[in-house]
Amino acid sequence: MYTQFDRTMVMLLSDNTNSGLYDQSLKMAKIINPFISSLSIAILPRIANLYYSNNSLEIKRLLNKSLSFTIITGLFLYGMVILISPQFVLLFFGESFPSIIIMVQLASILIVLIPIGGVFSNQIALPLNRTRAFVLPTIIGALLNILLGVLLIPKNGAIGAIYSIIMTEFVVCSIRIYMVKDFISIKKHLIEHIYFITIYIILVFVGSILNGILIFSTIVNTIILITMYIFMYFIFIIFNKNHRNKLFNFISRR
């Protein structure tokens, strides 16, 4: 409910222009998030069934695979949005709204935070009957979002609302992780995926340089950036033996 109330709060505390900017800035994240989070809905009944069968080893195996998929996919799409957002804004909004570029890039962190939080709530807390761990973070998030909105939106408008939702989702995600830390560790996964994190930092850096030197049309520039991003991503995977074997095994099973 609190994620849907944001736009109304911007309208009440600021104006229609800032409300529109805020809504457009979040569109990329709102389109992408259901795609990543859909795994949580698909896997929930399976985990619930395993829980009542007392098969904790299989639950942890599924959760580790699910969290790994969420981290890798979220980071991949997060990096792509950061990369193409300058071209995307020019293509859909023109040159009249340059400030919305940084808003889209800031809001895109939700592509990582919300799905990861969803793994710990929808795939762990809910099917494992940990009601407190499922409900409490959402209540805290709702109260925190209203408080931050009242403090940040009147003076900062749309950008204040974006800071508000980012801080709220970061706190909610952190609480969800903490409340089920006895069952699965996020620290272990972050260490295991440091290679992917490094890849995205390098690709976003290279892409930012390309953004400044490409002189073609907006559509052509966007296609070049996306192609470069995907191509270099798979090149980096192929150069890493562990991830190369995982990729080839996945393809062979298909």
- Grouped pLDDT means (10 residues each) for the chain, 254 residues: 76 82 83 79 77 80 82 85 82 71 88 89 83 90 91 90 93 91 76 77 80 77 84 77 62 56
| pLDDT of res. 96 | 65
Q: In the chain, what is the straight-line distance between the N-terminal and C-terminal CA atoms, in Å?
A: 39
What count of other Cβ atoms lies within 10 Å of the Cβ of residue 223?
A: 14
Torsion from C-alpha of 174, 177, 180, 184, nearest 10 degrees: -160
Residue type, position 226, single letter: I
| pLDDT of res. 40 | 66
| pLDDT of res. 152 | 92
CA distance 42 to 155: 42
Q: What is the pTM of this model?
A: 0.84
| pLDDT of res. 254 | 52
| pLDDT of res. 221 | 81
Structure tokens at 88: 């995307």
What count of other Cβ atoms lies within 10 Å of the Cβ of residue 139?
A: 11
| pLDDT of res. 143 | 92
Write the DSSP string, 138-180.
HHHHHHHHHHHHHHHHHHHTHHHHHHHHHHHHHHHHHHHHHHT
| pLDDT of res. 94 | 66
